Chains A and B, each alone.
Chain A
Amino acid sequence: MGETENILVVENLKKYFKTTFGTVKAVDDITFNVRFGETFGLVGESGSGKSTTGYLTIGIYTPTSGKILFKGRDISMHALKRPKSMKKDMSIVFQDPASSLNPSKTIRDIVALPLKVHGLINSDSELTEKVAQLLEAVELSPERFMDRRPGDLGGGEKQATAIARAIATNPSFVVLDEPTSALDVSIQAKIIKILMNLQQELKLSYLFITHDLSLMRNVASRVAIMYLGKIYEYASARLFFHNPAHPYTRMLLSSVPVLTDEEETLKPKDVKSTGEVSSAINPPSGCRFHPRCPFAKTICKIEEPEFIMIEPEHYVACHLYTEKS
């Protein structure tokens, strides 16, 4: 893979948190890349480290070890040490818009803040014009919303404001950390539509984090699945959903509630969800999924599986596939 086609490259990234109970290995040696203009999906259950990964790329945390390359430049430092021009080029939309927007500020102030910080505007009239443009881009009417505060807005409108703020500096890369999981389905559909349109217009690359597999199928071009801080499978979205290889992927897919018979055929029948996610402080040895895996063998408890390619664009880390090849 040439360096030129990737906007973000993550190599052997680790993030450990020290707690009074021991070290939590939130992200433990993951490698992936996001290509220009694509939506790279990261799925997993709570505690899998998917949000931590998002925060690491944006610079909220400093990695314990490993490398993050953004447009070929190493950015594995904390956001405070990153050059301003680089911070302008990436942004994030958080899960809960109610807590990511300052309730005492107006929508104008909220959206204008990144513009001011990066010195992108010269006068007040220019600011109003730019904020109006941004609000229109996320389908909020500037006249109605500009001078209101987050408390007057519905959940979808708040999230749209957060998106307007995220694209204010004209970034090329946006981390979307469960942007719709706090919203109702009818509102979710609208927010996703806005995000997809913006991606087309502004040529954005997304790192899309969610636990909702049905949503992921519809937005991502490539998907990686995380479990207890590790990536176990990554593939193009089509292969990931039509030919899921890792038992955990299959379990997750089999748990998704679906509406149509056609979807039902995509759900693996050989795996049923059992057990719970183990503790991240003392993760199971070998393959971390082995205590829940219906196909676990002795080797799974001892040795960590290596990534192998089972078909083009489809990689999996599981002992079931190592033996066959």
Chain B
Amino acid sequence: MTEQLLKIEDLSVGYKTYRGTSKVLNGANLTVNAGEKVGIIGESGCGKTTTMKTILQILPTNAVIYEGEVHFRGKNVLRMAKNELNELRRKHIAMIFQDPTAALNPVFNVETQLIDIIKSSGGHEVKKKEEFKDKCIGLLKEVALSDPERVLDSYPFQLSGGMRQRVCIAMALATPRYLLIADEPTTNLDVTIKDQVLRLIKDIVENRKLSVILISQALGAVKGFVDKVYVMYAGNTVEVAETKELFSNPLHPYTKGLLNSTPKLTGGGFSEGIQGRVPDYINPPSGCRFHPRCNYILGRCKGEKPPLIDMGGNHAVACWLCYKE
């Protein structure tokens, strides 16, 4: 049995706003085994990033965790003491954010920022300044930056978007970690750069046998990368399956809609998309949150929230259509 690294169970998180509480997460589930590559797909505003922020406990101050548990290597993250949490953020989990421009500090050069990361994440085996520099150069070479010395001396604004994201990857992977969270790491990049950055992350992760959570809206990018996919809609995990299974045999109406509305390179048009839009979280729909947009609605969809139903073969779906007494 493989070791379970991260387990999130029925997590519910809301944000207090002046209009009322916005109940974003409404029972998110996620399991990541050691060495596993996991993808999360879903539209903007479906709670992907909130889930990740809960793992690292970096939610904004107006967030409230109602229920649920987050276990990382057997320990409940939600009940961790402050020093334990710091340890978790510094040494165990690394995160790559969507916007590298916002993730890097504009007033320090890359070298200073990289060395800070190595120091705080326990790279104490190196002491001398030159050794730090050598390590930094090695890291930048690993992320395929062609001129590492120049990059080290540069400030973030002097680098291109793709280079900045590579620097962020180098930072995330500066010291050994258990888990890498990549939150839409390529959304802001050009097509060809996207492809390069994704291939780079995949290579490094496979070399180091890291566990990864890749969040993305681009279904194609997820498909070529991960072993297992979670589909999220409006704060719920609606479907989980191994990558191949999910793309060949989607069960949830939302997953199907998402796949059908993705334009194909082969042409031939695509479906009309999914009617409506992501619900308002202050007054979310009752029962299954997808029911106002669903074409296959049943009587009980409005009243009862469907549980994740195991369909066998590691495929689970939260939909009453698949429920058998």
A residues with CB within 8 A of B: 45-46, 154-157, 184-190, 192-193, 211-215, 217-218, 237-238, 241, 251-260, 262-263, 266-267, 273-274, 276-277
Interchain CB contact under 8 A, A259 and B223: yes
CA distance A69 to B163 in the complex (A): 41
CB contacts (< 8 Å) of B264 on chain A: these are 214, 217-218, 258-260, 263
- Apart from A190-B273, A273-B193, what 12 extra A-B contacts exist at CB < 8 Å? A45-B191, A184-B43, A188-B263, A189-B272, A190-B261, A193-B273, A213-B265, A238-B267, A252-B192, A253-B265, A256-B191, A263-B265
CB proximity of A247 to chain B, nearest CB, Å: 12
B269: interface (CB < 8 Å)? yes
CB pair A258 B220 closer than 8 Å? yes
Interface residues of B in 185-199 (CB under 8 A from A): 190-196, 198
In the assembled complex, the CB of B82 is this many whole angstroms from the nearest CB of chain A, namely: 37
Identify 22 residue pairs between A and B in the complex whose beta-carbon atoms are under 8 Å apart, listed by A's number.
A45-B192, A45-B193, A185-B258, A185-B261, A188-B261, A189-B263, A190-B272, A193-B273, A213-B191, A214-B220, A217-B266, A218-B264, A218-B270, A255-B192, A256-B191, A256-B220, A258-B220, A258-B264, A259-B247, A260-B264, A267-B265, A276-B162
**Closest chain B residue, CB of each to CB of A271:** B192
Given contacts A217-B267, A262-B266, A156 and B195 within 8 Å (CB-CB): no
Q: A189-B271, A266-B265 given as contacts; is B191 within 8 A of A211 (CB)?
A: yes
Q: Return chain A residues, CB-CB under 8 Å to B278.
A: 154, 184
B192/A257 in contact, CB under 8 A = no
Contact of B262 among A211, A241, A252, A259 (CB under 8 A): A259
- Identify whether the interface residues of A are mostly helix, strand, loop, or mixed: helix
Please name all residues of chain B whose beta carbon is closer than 8 Å to the beta carbon of A253 when the two chains form the complex. 265
Q: Please tell me if the beta carbons of A259 and B257 are within 8 angstroms of each other in the complex.
A: no
CB-based contact A273/B192 at 8 Å: yes
User: What are the 3 tightest A-B residue pairs by CB atom distance, in nearest-first order?
Assistant: A257-B220, A189-B273, A189-B261
The distance in angstroms between the C-alpha atoms of A214 and B265, with both chains bound, is 4
Whole-angstrom distance between the Cβ of A24 and the nearest chain B Cβ = 15
- Point out the residues of chain A lying under 8 angstroms from B195, CB to CB: 254-255, 257, 273
Q: Write the nearest CB–CB distance from B172 to chain A, whole angstroms.
A: 21
- Given the known interface contacts A189-B270, A189-B272, the answer about A212 and B192 at a Cβ–Cβ threshold of 8 Å is no
A274 to B258, CA, bound (A): 30
B268 CB–A CB distance under 8 Å? yes
Chain B, interface residues (CB within 8 Å), range:
35 or more
Are the CB atoms of B262 and A214 closer together than 8 Å?
yes
- The distance in angstroms between the C-alpha atoms of A56 and B243, with both chains bound, is 45
Give CA–CA (A46, B161) in the complex, Å: 11
Residues in B232-281 with C-beta less than 8 Å from chain A: 247, 257-275, 277-278
Q: Which residues of B contact A274 (CB under 8 A)?
A: 196
Also in contact, A188 and B191, with CB within 8 A (given A257-B223, A273-B196): no
CB neighbours (8 Å) of A273 from chain B are 192-193, 195-196
Provide the residues of chain B in CB contact with A262, threshold 8 Å.
266
B44 within 8 A of A: yes
CA distance A257 to B270 in the complex (A): 16
Are B191 and A252 closer than 8 Å at their CB atoms? yes
Nearest residue, chain A, Cβ from B191: A255
Provide the bound-state CA to CA distance between A111 and B278, in Å. 25
Given A252-B191, A252-B192, A257-B220, A186-B270 contact (CB < 8 Å):
no
Q: Which residues of the partner chain A approach B265 to less than 8 Å between Cβ atoms? A: 213-214, 217, 241, 253, 256, 258, 263, 266-267
Chain B residues with Cβ below 8 Å from A154 are 277-278
Report B256 CB to chain A, min CB distance, Å: 11
Say whether A260 contacts B266, CB under 8 Å: yes
Q: Which residues of A contact B217 (CB under 8 A)?
A: 184-185
CA distance A54 to B317 in the complex (A): 45
Find the A residue at minimum CB distance from B190: A45
CA distance A136 to B268 in the complex (A): 27
- A306 CB → nearest B CB, Å: 25
State the CA gap A260–B223 with chains docked (Å): 10
Give the CA-CA distance A134 to B194 in the complex, in Å: 38
Give, as a whole number of angstroms, the nearest-CB distance from B229 to chain A.
12
Are B223 and A184 touching (Cβ within 8 A)? Answer: no
B34 within 8 A of partner (CB): no
Chain B 68-87 near chain A by CB (<8 Å), digits 1 or 0:
00000000000000000000
Q: Whose C-beta in chain A lies nearest to the C-beta of B193?
A: A276
Contact B263 A214 (CB under 8 A): yes
| Residues of A contacting B271 in the complex (Cβ-Cβ under 8 angstroms) | 189
Any A CB within 8 A of the CB of B294: no
Interface residue? B5 (CB, 8 A): no
Bound Cα distance from A256 to B264, whole angstroms: 10
Q: Which of B160, B224, B261 contacts A257 (CB 8 A)?
A: B224
A277 to B265, CA, bound (A): 24
- With A217-B263, A259-B220: A185-B191 Cβ-Cβ less than 8 Å: no
The 8 A CB mask of B191-212 against A (1 = contact, 0 = none) is: 1111110100000000000000
**Contact A186:B191 (CB < 8 A) given known A218-B268, A266-B266:** no
B56 interfacial contact with A, CB 8 Å: no
Residues from chain B with a CB closer than 8 A to the CB of A157 are 277
The verdict on A237 contacting B267 (CB below 8 Å), with A185-B217, A274-B196 known, is: yes
The answer on a CB contact under 8 Å between B272 and A193 is yes
When distances are taken between beta carbons in the complex, the residues of chain A under 8 Å from B194 are 255, 257
List residues of chain B with CB within 8 A of the CB of A252. 191-192
**Is B58 close to A, CB under 8 A?**
no
Considering the chains assembled together, what is the distance between the CA atoms of A263 and B265 in angstroms? Answer: 6
In the complex, the chain B residue whose C-beta lies closest to that of A153 is: B277
The answer for the CA separation of A95 and B179 in the assembled complex, in Å, is 36
CA distance in complex: A193, B191 (Å): 24
Q: In whole Å, how far is A262's beta carbon from the nearest beta carbon of chain B?
A: 5
Cβ of B221 < 8 Å from any Cβ of A?
A: yes
Taking a contact as CB atoms under 8 Å apart, the answer to whether A46 and B220 are in contact is: no
